[in-house]
Structure 1
Amino acid sequence: MYVMAKDSAVCAKRQAVNQLKAILVTAGPELRDELRSLSRRRLELACLQLAEGDDAVDPVARATRFTVRVLAERVEHLGAQARVLEQRMAEVIATHFPRLLEAIGVGPHSAAVLLTVLGDNRERMRGEASFAALCGVSPVEYSSGSRQHRRLNRGGHRQANAALHRIVLARLRWDPRTQAYYERRVAEGKTRREIIRSLKRYVAREIYRLIDASRSTPGDLRAVRRMS
């Protein structure tokens, strides 16, 4: 439930941001020049402070200022909602699976998505290989003769796959062990896509083992699945 609510808040926020920027593209030169050089966060704060002006102001300019301010308020409100929902996810996961959030690159949202997928498919889980296949990160062979190749697995749960992808990107940026592995595979002639595909498989194995080690009762995973 928390994941669903947060995803809808983030989607609505993105839509409001795009609408705000689209309005500014066609706004009058005075307003456009006032706001064009600002970063996104400073732009939102500036839009929150916009005044409509009195009745003597051009009605189109007045409507533009009012609409931009309303959209900025919507963006602010939806961002606050998303933060509250992520905090709720973190509290639930920390209660039932504390070791999961200690893993490098694993945030509350990614953890909640993976736990939900695992909890929804308990009867299919025979081990970490089954979890990897469910997430679409198990290798798919397409070798020919002496050439050994594996391609991207386009099956599996795409949200879980995206969660693993986010974890890998975070580790490539912050984790020295992952960075060393990346450099070693590059030296072997592997492409970035191939390396990320391998890393996602390793992360799936690690996540499954952390979940399996953390859960103390069969009800833990079901409880987290319902709430997240």
Structure 2
Amino acid sequence: MAIVTDQYDFVIGVDTHAASHTLALITAGTGALGQQAQFPTSPSGLRRAVDWIQRHTHHAPTLIVIDGAGSYGATFTEQLSAAGLTVAEAPDVAATTRRRRGKSDVVDALAMAQAARTLDINELCWPRAGGDRTALRVLTAAREQMSGERTRAVNALTALLRTVDLGIDARRALTTTTIAAVAAWRTRSDNATLAVCRAEAIRLARRIRALDTELAANHTALHKAVTAQAPQLLALPGVGAVVAATVLLAWSHPGRVRSEAAFAALAGASPLPARSGNTTRYRLNRGGDRRLNRALYTVALVRMGHDPRTRDYVTRRTREGRTKREIMRSLKRYISRQLFRTLNGAHSATSTT
């Protein structure tokens, strides 16, 4: 297997911050520090950084590893890719190395570059694509924030209605009808304590309904974006706009994930052996991208309830003595394979037309 030093002459580590980026250039073969520089994150500063890289590497094969390629370093990553430079996400630096060398921007950038130079090429993590994917990323992040806020508001309203008698039976989960009824209440001033509690209940209920409207608009935007970028995903059973967006963001672009096995590992759906003595079995993988794993779980649940083939599979495996977790693991592995092949196949078909 090829390692970084076999394919690149230089490795550059980039320690990113809000106001500046620090670059450390090393020779891939020896790991010796060649040059270092710091540039502001302004448009002109990032252009100077790209020019600095090209000038000091003489356009030789160079790998650039960036800390925070999806956050502070996102804009710089896009500019480097546009310039034809190879960019990867910075690998983890061993804790012993960090403690031994201390802490500074240059030290961090140098440690990233030296940690990357000995990696296998297949161990490099390539940044996610920008462009059209940025809209999906913004929409999914907004949806996650709104969903969390809605859950907190529902919990707060439920707790309020269960501790203060406002005429609502809250022994069970609040329904949409109940929330709408509370939102339509008028404030009262007959009792100061009850008036405060009633006003807070109204505020929470109205916020929940407003979030429902915002989530519906978000779903419409997600569906439109996914339809434009990967409509094949929506044709699969159990895959809706939210799941499709999550999968598309994780897959990102052709080449980021090298194989369906790697995609399963990224999703935390690859089987992990749990053998002991005469017992041979596999268990759930609790690593990987948990958002992607949750998307696979959602698809599996929907198919277990509504897809005839999946229901037949679950019945057969249950008769064989498999537990629900083991069946779910197998389903998630199959679903990850299907999703990966669908995305790669769609791209191949687009490339050949």
TM-score by length of 1: 0.87
Corresponding position of 2:292: 160
Q: 1:4-42: per-residue Cα shift (whole Å, max 9, x none)?
A: 0011001001111111111112213xx23x444785212
Corresponding position of 2:224: 91
Q: Distance in 1 between matches of 2:287 and 2:298?
A: 18
Q: CA deviation at 1:61?
A: 1.1
Corresponding position of 1:51: 186
Gaps of 5+ in 1: 219-228
1:26 aligns with 2:158: no
CA contact (8 A) 1:96 1:214 kept: no
Counterpart of 2:215, as a letter, is A
Q: CA deviation at 1:123?
A: 4.9
Going from structure 1 to structure 2, the CA distance change for 1:213 and 1:127 (only over 3 Å counts) comes to same
Structure whose residues are more often helix by fraction: 1
Q: Distance in 1 between matches of 2:274 and 2:157?
A: 47
1:111 aligns with 2:248: no
Q: Distance in 1 between matches of 2:149 and 2:303?
A: 29
Q: CA deviation at 1:149?
A: 0.9
RMSD: 1.8
Q: Distance in 2 between matches of 1:23 and 1:196?
A: 37
Of the three residues 128, 141, 145, the one matched with 1:8 is: 145
Q: Distance in 1 between matches of 2:282 and 2:171?
A: 46
Q: Distance in 2 between matches of 1:37 and 1:20?
A: 12
Q: CA deviation at 1:94?
A: 0.8
SS of aligned partner of 1:99: helix
Alignment of 1:1-228 (within 5 A): 1-28=138-165, 31-32=166-167, 34-36=168-170, 39-53=174-188, 55=189, 57-119=190-252, 123-215=255-347
Gaps of 5+ in 2: 1-137
Q: Which has the larger radius of gyration?
A: 2
SS of aligned partner of 1:136: coil
Q: Distance in 2 between matches of 1:180 and 1:8?
A: 37
SS of aligned partner of 2:231: coil
The answer to which structure, 1 or 2, has the higher relative contact order (CA under 8 A, 6+ apart) is 1
Q: How many residues align?
A: 212
Counterpart of 1:22, as a letter, is A
CA contact (8 A) 1:101 1:107 kept: yes
Counterpart of 2:249, as a letter, is T
